[in-house]
Amino acid sequence: MAETAITAVLIFVALQITTQSRIIEGTSMFPTLTNGERMLVNRFVFARVDSGPLSVLGGDDGYLFHGPVSGDIIIFHPPSGSNTDFVKRVIGGPGDVVDIRAGYVYLNGERLNEPYLTQVTNAQSGTYPKTVPAGQYFVMGDNRRVSNDSRAWGFVNAGDVVGRAWVGYWPVPKFRIFG
């Protein structure tokens, strides 16, 4: 009986440390994610070890495993200081060149294949192309007409990334695992 209780507690603690449940608020990721949809966030996949005794395990970029890559759906603390975390798709990472022209997004000179989009992409503001600085990411919502994203306020700092979308679990007919 004690072994079962200890095992249950350890599993509970491990899940609390590595995952987080989120409810999607708004339509900036439509049609991929819809308002009110629930998902689990993998907080462990982008674990950072910039300093301390575990820093020898991290790569040059400070991540234990790897950082976000183009196409990942990430959850992050917004640069606006809002208490509500944002959910967006990574377009480019450190050193990448992001360009928006003629309604399409280009990464390092190649047009991105974005089958989840239902409309063209406008630059909104600023000049392009933009080179993503070290330790930062360029992100956009899938519903580009209404998304408040890097086109409006710039890059996301790596330290503000909470995790990656892992499993959409509610409503049940929309259950899926994000790649």
pLDDT in tens, 76-120: 998 877 788 999 999 999 999 999 999 999 999 999 999 999 889
CA dist 64 and 151 (Å) reads 29
Q: Which residues are catalytic?
A: 28, 88
Examine residue 3 and state whether it is found in any structural domain, yes or no. no
CA dist 147 and 151 (Å) reads 9
Per-residue burial over 78-108, b = 16 or more CB atoms within 10 Å of its CB, e = otherwise:
beeeeeebbbbbbbbbbebebbbeeeebbbe
Structure-block tokens of residue 151: 């086109």
- The enclosing domain of 103 has a CATH number of 2.10.109.10
Examine residue 140 and state whether it is found in any structural domain, yes or no. yes
Q: Looking at residue 63, what DSSP letter applies?
A: B
Cβ atoms of residues 141 and 29 within 8 Å: yes
CA dist 76 and 155 (Å) reads 11
Q: Is the pLDDT at 65 greater than 90, yes or no?
A: no
Cβ neighbours for 174, distance < 8 A, ≥ 6 positions apart: 34, 37, 168
How much is the pLDDT for 15?
A: 61
Domain count, the chain: 1
Examine residue 123 and state whether it is found in any structural domain, yes or no. yes
Length of the chain: 179
Structural domain span for residue 71: 22-177
Examine residue 5 and state whether it is found in any structural domain, yes or no. no
| Residue 73: closest CA among 164, 174, 141, 167 | 164
Residue 174, phi then psi, degrees to nearest 5: -100, 15
- Amino acid, single-letter form, for residue 142: D
CA dist 13 and 123 (Å) reads 43
Examine residue 107 and state whether it is found in any structural domain, yes or no. yes
Lowest mean pLDDT among 12-21, 59-68, 69-78, 166-175: 12-21
What is the value of pTM for the model shown? Answer: 0.86
Examine residue 163 and state whether it is found in any structural domain, yes or no. yes
Examine residue 2 and state whether it is found in any structural domain, yes or no. no
| Residue 88: closest CA among 2, 171, 160 | 160
Q: What is the mean pLDDT of residues 40-55?
A: 74
Examine residue 83 and state whether it is found in any structural domain, yes or no. yes
Q: Is the pLDDT at 55 greater than 50, yes or no?
A: no
